[in-house]
Structure 1
């Protein structure tokens, strides 16, 4: 969906965003390790007693305690920088709206509290990030995947690294930072952003890096490549003997067991399978809205084939020829 030929799919949304927010600077956060929607999803669980050693949360699984503690402290430092950055940006750029888009698995309350003290700061993670990147004048982040998406879409991005530690930054977040203008204090960020907004500065010159990591920037679309692979798998299956009845029953049992376990977990506190967490990350979409999106994709691709959309379940749709 980042490809130029797909930009038409988002044009109506881009126009609405620009009409609603005017000229805006987009801040994308990714502090789910320390500001998780459910505390259990973070690096460490909250302690209940003074001096208690915190237990690992889900994000710390597979890490050593030394690494997890250092990573937590590093992310906390960046988090504090961004909390100060938001009102400072509003003051420094009075002609622009500041839109804060939290990570889907973050709590939003801290950002709403900051916005309540400001006049032109809005907090939302509504919809797909792509139209927001298309509508924004610039992106500010720290190690966020949207830094890569912004680069591909030719939106200048700034990685705000007032707290920097290459031990963590280069491992986890190297690519999006390298595809952005890296600023290590607010004054450097302010000057860089001024140059971007005056169109004196564009994206960084790092096409060789993105070419190494990102495929399919031209040629067949990703969906076409996926279908090609699926068709090959399907064709190969006809040349293979059918699995034995025992293997089929074993597969069915495993799938049913997994489904029942997920359903059971959805009733547990702090589970990432809980319905409210799914709604937080993936809001419901109606059949009419899905049909409208299919129509927009057809228009963007110049496809004249008639398609029908059928809702199979609350979260599953079937798209097939008429």
Structure 2
């Protein structure tokens, strides 16, 4: 069993609560766990003792970082936070999967059978066994009883807004806060030389997503005008530019562009969820909420199958208004149903043992990475040189990529302890787990008996 485990969090509102749960479980079994902001952990990676590291993606460009961590003596494992809802297998393999990354990590934690099958198809037969179908800790929080920690927040949201429809936008690939990092810029801008060609650029996907984005900008105000007694909550992706949504709905008092807190209480408090190709649709399905997919454009090769198949669909503004009229006039907006078998193929651990416990079991079996002290010293020196270069760039006034508060807002120790205590009460566990702040936004979990 690894004595030390590193759990980086990329997007606070998406992952923090789930990583707190996983950290508690790992600490309960005797590990010393460091959990928190991925950037801070990355900067300090050479200071940590040899640890097991849980990466959040398996892209090709992340492999150089994972290999560096391994040279420092860390054992690298990975899951893919964005591996549940994919456009197509080919696009997913091109944009989100690096074959060398898959081959070099010690273990892979798959969302479900579909995700596992894609990864295993990229690996030699002797390595397919390191793919483990565990599910994702984020979906543990959708289950009974853990979802109850969000019930009070959901009630407060209902009191604050009254009846509301939730729309979680995921158009950050075409509507990015920083245009320099836009993954799918307009093909006309590429052709004119206004924007350089980004890696893995797909012009067909760019045109399609831009068309959908514009269609939603047009449809949302029309929808809100038809239902003035209902509030419409628009939650852009953390990397998305909120300005277009704010401009499109500025004249409507029942539209609110908001990005605060975890998504689960927003779903629980909603009358219904609107989306296009979003993980929120899957989460809302598990929570028993009506889910509507607006499909003004269709391309089966580019549309993610899973969230669309779980949704009621509308292909025009008129049909969208009619469908919401039917849903909002219904007596109930929460209708628990058995989890569809189709969904179980994509997301494991929706029943039975928690995904977090399944991941912890695998981690206990993994041997430590082989390394030499020379490799660790060399890695430490490279990190020091990189940090010196970064400081020099800043002194010279050159642009340095800084932390994004929309990705990971400041987090207090009390906030983390409160969530861990809530988990402990619901599960009757973690009474010996102690938590302390190690760095800003980074926390250490350990079982006080193990000290």
Distance 1:196 1:316 in 2: 43
Cα offsets for 1:101-120 (capped at 9, x unmatched): 11111011112223321011
Distance 2:341 2:190 in 1: 51
What secondary structure does 2:326 align onto? Answer: helix
1:107-122 aligned at under 5 Å gives the runs: 107-122=241-256
- Coordinate RMSD, CA, aligned: 3.1
Instruction: Tell me the equivalent position of 2:162.
Output: 22
1:254-293 aligned at under 5 Å gives the runs: 269=399, 273-275=401-403, 277=404, 279-293=405-419
- The answer on 1:42 being equivalent to 2:182 is yes
- The answer on 1:78 being equivalent to 2:216 is no
Counterparts in 2 of 1:274 and 1:216: CA distance versus 1, 3 Å: same
1:203-222 aligned at under 5 Å gives the runs: 207-222=340-355
- The answer on 1:62 being equivalent to 2:200 is yes
What secondary structure does 1:168 align onto? Answer: coil
Q: CA deviation at 1:264?
A: 8.1
Distance 1:308 1:195 in 2: 49
Cα offsets for 1:218-276 (capped at 9, x unmatched): 2222222222122112xx34xx8x6333344345456666777888899864x7x422x
1:230-249 aligned at under 5 Å gives the runs: 230-233=363-366, 236-237=367-368, 243-249=371-377
Counterparts in 2 of 1:31 and 1:260: CA distance versus 1, 3 Å: farther
Instruction: Tell me the equivalent position of 1:307.
Output: 433
What secondary structure does 1:4 align onto? Answer: coil
Counterparts in 2 of 1:268 and 1:28: CA distance versus 1, 3 Å: farther
Q: CA deviation at 1:287?
A: 1.3
Contact 2:187 2:207 in 1 (8 A): no
Contact 1:28 1:140 in 2 (8 A): yes
- The answer on 1:154 being equivalent to 2:292 is no
Contact 2:163 2:271 in 1 (8 A): yes
- The answer on 1:106 being equivalent to 2:246 is no
Q: CA deviation at 1:290?
A: 1.5
- The answer on 1:226 being equivalent to 2:359 is yes
Contact 2:272 2:291 in 1 (8 A): yes
Structure that is richer in helix per residue: 1
Contact 2:274 2:292 in 1 (8 A): yes
Distance 1:157 1:85 in 2: 17
Q: CA deviation at 1:181?
A: 1.2
Cα offsets for 1:163-216 (capped at 9, x unmatched): 2222211xxx22111111121112222222233221588689981211111011
- The answer on 1:180 being equivalent to 2:308 is no
Counterparts in 2 of 1:45 and 1:184: CA distance versus 1, 3 Å: closer
Instruction: Tell me the equivalent position of 1:7.
Output: 147
Distance 1:310 1:320 in 2: 9
What secondary structure does 2:200 align onto? Answer: coil
Cα offsets for 1:9-57 (capped at 9, x unmatched): 1122112111111110011111112110100121356899997234445
What secondary structure does 2:172 align onto? Answer: coil
Q: TM-score, normalised by structure 2?
A: 0.61
Higher relative CO (Cα under 8 Å, sequence separation at least 6) belongs to 2
What secondary structure does 1:280 align onto? Answer: coil
1:135 to 261, 266, 269: 269
| Unaligned segments of structure 2, at least 5 residues | 1-140
Contact 1:44 1:55 in 2 (8 A): no
Counterparts in 2 of 1:318 and 1:205: CA distance versus 1, 3 Å: closer
Q: CA deviation at 1:83?
A: 1.0
Q: CA deviation at 1:317?
A: 0.7
Cα offsets for 1:256-312 (capped at 9, x unmatched): 66777888899864x7x422x2x0122111112122111222222233614322011
Instruction: Tell me the equivalent position of 2:327.
Output: 196
Distance 2:417 2:383 in 1: 30
Contact 2:225 2:252 in 1 (8 A): no
Contact 1:29 1:103 in 2 (8 A): yes
Q: TM-score, normalised by structure 1?
A: 0.83
